[in-house]
Amino acid sequence: MLTPTYSTDDLTAIKNQLQTKPWLVACLCAAWCDTCQSYRAGFDQLRLSHSDKCFAWIDIEDHANLVEEIDIENFPTILIQYEEKVLFFGTMLPDSNLVIRLLQAFEQQLNESGLEKIIPSIQSSDYPVDTNWSLRHLLLNKSD
């Protein structure tokens, strides 16, 4: 079965992916950030090997309305969300293997203990992130 291709920065395609996929893996970045730009290819490659997850590349300036409630201070900032629960939110070294390891750990915890037992890892200057904040919800309810 072929994996449907979509651009990780196409919000309409991301919204469509989220209709059927419980996982959201987002990189919150800025176009001017050289580190983010060099990380992009590896991040986009993750999408190809994890077709059960939705990957999103969110430029915090182009889509400020999606992240205005949170404070993004460093790049790249990664968000991993399962359904409505944020599992990880924080700055990460620009190495896609780190995202893979995190996803594997969360999948194992989900299978062994269930979603409610997973303790989120949230790193932010405004810790804790408002428990009602959900990038998934914002993307799904964004007008096209």
Q: How many residues does the chain have?
A: 144
- Cα dihedral 126/131/137/142 (nearest 10): -40
Q: What are phi and psi of 115, to 5 degrees?
A: -60, -40
pLDDT of amino acid 15:
93
Per-residue pLDDT 10s for the chain (144 aa) are: 344 567 888 899 999 999 999 999 999 999 899 999 999 999 989 988 899 999 999 999 998 888 887 878 888 999 999 999 999 998 889 899 999 999 999 999 999 999 989 888 877 655 456 667 789 998 998 765
Q: For the whole model, what pTM was predicted?
A: 0.88
What is the domain partition of the chain in residue ranges? 11-140
Q: How many Cα atoms sit within 13 Å of 108 on the Cβ side?
A: 6
The CATH architecture assigned to 11-140 reads: 3-Layer(aba) Sandwich (3.40)
Report the alpha-carbon angle 97-46-142, nearest 5.
125
